Homo-oligomer: A and B are copies of this chain.
Amino acid sequence: MAAGTMTGAESVLRTLSAGGVQVCFANPGTSEMHLVAALDRVPEVRPVLALFEGVASGAADGYARMAGIPAATLLHLGPGLGNAFANLHNAYKARTPMVNVVGDHAVAHAPLNAPLASDIASVARPVSHWYASARDARSAATEAAAALAAARGRGGGIATLVVPADAGWETSAGPAEPLPVAPPAAVPQGAVEAAAQALRGGRRSALLIGGAATRGRALRAAARIAAATGARLLHDTFPARLERGAGVPRAQPLPYLTELATEALAGLEHLVICGTQAPVAFFAYPGRPSRLADPSTAVEVLAGPREDVAGALEALADALGAPADAPVEDAPRPAAPSGGPLDAVAIGAAVAALLPEGAIVVDESVTCSAPIVAATAGAARHDWLTLTGGAIGQGLPAATGAAVACPDRPVLSLEGDGSAMYTIQSLWTQAREGLDVTTVILANRSYAILDFELARVGAEATRGPAADALFGLGRPDLDFVGMAAGMGVPGVRVDDARSFSAALREALAEPGPRLIEAWL
């Protein structure tokens, strides 16, 4: 097709492709048919079908966290975006680069209140750092270039571009040139000096790292600073991508529970924020603080989420005269349990022992997470992806996307049974694409965290059958092995530690998706 007869849809897709987009996680409908046709003309962009839009958005999140470049999603009007919303929220909080392409009614059709007409902008805005609706086929490619630049620039973010059906089917002016991508903003020299001042002199201090600071150059610079000053190295409770394991500098997680987090931060004279924000409680509780740092602690922001935290940490390390490399003391690696009951500690030990070098772990194990995190500090080097926005149902999709991004790295998906059910359709995409994902369902047959939280908010006095009904996942028990088989993923249920170790060893050794239902 010559440029003069290229559709708007094809011009959008070619623009995204020219700007580096290689994968489109899609669940299209009629209003996106010209975008589907464009995918057949632009084979550089790989379409990956999701059977539910929350799988598409969560996969795009997991993909970009690992690939470092945005994926596109292809979604069907307001309701498709609505289905994608929860995992877009998680990606928004992680500042994952992503371009959502959302179809809409033809411009003249939109005001007529057809069944699928809705206010897409209103749904999009809470989860979009950038938003536009293309006016017509001639401007759609230019909007796509702007969307991609917004997704990639200044530390990354979610760009949502609505493409009305006629902007897709009419004739375009051809693809648009990619726009320059703005690098993360440099922090002012004064911020580096203030942080250096705070950390000098042996006072009790800590660095809190998040965003881009939990891996690579930034993490190594943070470790140099900690080694030179004695400052503690803490990371956000829910990092987007944490590098850890053997040979990697170690940071301690800021605990989830308000009381443990305030304890971890108690008595600090200085807290230096690196790539994230000052720590706040996940939820408010009656009589407990929302801000976690002690009021007497001086909080210095070295770099926020959109700033060049790696550069700032390196400048700070140099300013403090830190050694060029900090020594890394590996945590002990437990042995895989060969007997005993199956619980989170046993699972953590098995994972620590068996995780292959270079694995990617996606952790949505909720109440089981803390013991597993503790046990795996000494595992072989790996990346650890967590639930950045608190909207459960992110784990299975993110694992799916991470596996698309890194076909040569095994993915381990640690998933609560309650959380798994939000986006269980992910398993089918894993089967279709032959992705090397091992899913471990931590099946305690309850929303265990809610029972725990009921007491913490002071509402346990009236606990009765309604809470039982709403917190329990029994009556009937879920059979994840059966559901996985129904979507083409082989699985096994285990209920003791020895069997779990054996099943995990086997699943990690085999290519393609596997599921282990760990019956706790």
Contacts and interface: CB of A to CB of B under 8 A. Distances in A.
Interface string A476-505: 111111110111100000000000000000
A409 to B, nearest CB: 23
20 contacts: A29-B450, A30-B453, A36-B459, A37-B467, A40-B463, A40-B467, A79-B86, A80-B391, A83-B86, A89-B118, A105-B284, A114-B280, A114-B290, A116-B390, A169-B286, A421-B428, A428-B478, A476-B487, A480-B486, A482-B483
A54 B33 CA distance: 25
The 4 closest A-B pairs by CB, nearest first: A82-B85, A476-B488, A79-B391, A482-B486
A221 to B, nearest CB: 25
Contacts of A165: 283-284, 457
Contact of A34 (B125, B291, B457, B466): B457
Nearest to A487: B478
B85 A432 contact: no
A318 B26 CA distance: 54
Contacts of A418: 51
A509 interface: no
A82 B91 CA distance: 14
Contact of A47 (B387, B449, B466): B466
A335 interface: no
Contact of A422 (B51, B89, B284): B51
Contact of A282 (B33, B38, B115, B422): B115
Interface of A: 26, 28-31, 33-34, 36-41, 43, 47-49, 51-52, 54, 78-80, 82-83, 85-86, 88-90, 93, 105-106, 108-109, 112-116, 118-120, 122-123, 125-127, 165-166, 169, 238, 277, 280-284, 286, 290-291, 387-391, 393, 418, 421-422, 424-425, 428, 431-432, 449-450, 453-454, 456-467, 469-470, 473, 475-483, 485-488
Given A82-B86, A425-B424, A483-B486, A470 B123 contact: no
B83 A78 contact: no
Contacts of A83: 54, 83, 85-86, 393, 422
A450 to B, nearest CB: 7
B26 A85 contact: no
Nearest to A471: B36
B122 A450 contact: no
Contact of A122 (B41, B79, B126, B425): B126
A17 B464 CA distance: 18
Contacts of A466: 36, 39-40, 43, 47
B114 A282 contact: yes
A145 B104 CA distance: 36
A453 B290 CA distance: 52
Contacts of A112: 280, 290-291
Nearest to A290: B109
Contacts of A115: 93, 238, 282, 387-390
A283 B105 contact: yes
A470 B424 contact: no
Contacts of A108: 284, 290
Contacts of A105: 283-284
Contacts of A393: 52, 83
Contacts of A29: 450, 453
B479 A486 contact: yes
A147 to B, nearest CB: 20
Contacts of A486: 478-483, 486
Contacts of A122: 122-123, 125-126
A4 to B, nearest CB: 16
Contacts of A114: 280-283, 290, 390
A480 B478 CA distance: 15
